[in-house]
Amino acid sequence: MFGGYDWKSEHLKEFTDYISLKFKSSEEAFRFLSGFSSKSLDFTRFKEVIHELFGNRFHSSDVEKIWSNISGGKGKLELA
């Protein structure tokens, strides 16, 4: 029944929908995710924030896939 269901894209959509609803802009979201005092976001901080926002909703492998998708495979993201 769920053979064609793409969990990876659905998790990413759930994450991005939540961020879009919670924050007024992508810059505001980035500042929150990075901890306000940093202009960069790494995977360690990202995992912490995902846990704060979603509790145990996502497995570690799900968080890794979301990170990989939004970071483009980079080790960290920088605020321009």
- Asked whether residue 17 is domain-assigned, the answer is yes
Q: What is the CATH number of the domain that holds 52?
A: 1.10.238
Determine the 3-state secondary structure of 40 from DSSP. strand
- Asked whether residue 19 is domain-assigned, the answer is yes
pLDDT exceeds 60 at position 1? no
- Asked whether residue 13 is domain-assigned, the answer is yes
- Asked whether residue 44 is domain-assigned, the answer is yes
Structurally, the chain folds into a number of domains equal to 1
pLDDT of residue 20: 94
- Asked whether residue 24 is domain-assigned, the answer is yes
Digit-coded pLDDT (tens) for 15-55: 999 999 999 998 999 999 999 878 899 999 999 999 999 99
8 Å CB contact between 37 and 31? no
Dihedral over Cα of 54, 24, 74, 5: its sign: positive
Residues 6+ apart with CB under 8 A from 55: none
Domain that holds residue 45: 7-78
8 pLDDT tier (thresholds 50, 70, 90): low
- Asked whether residue 37 is domain-assigned, the answer is yes
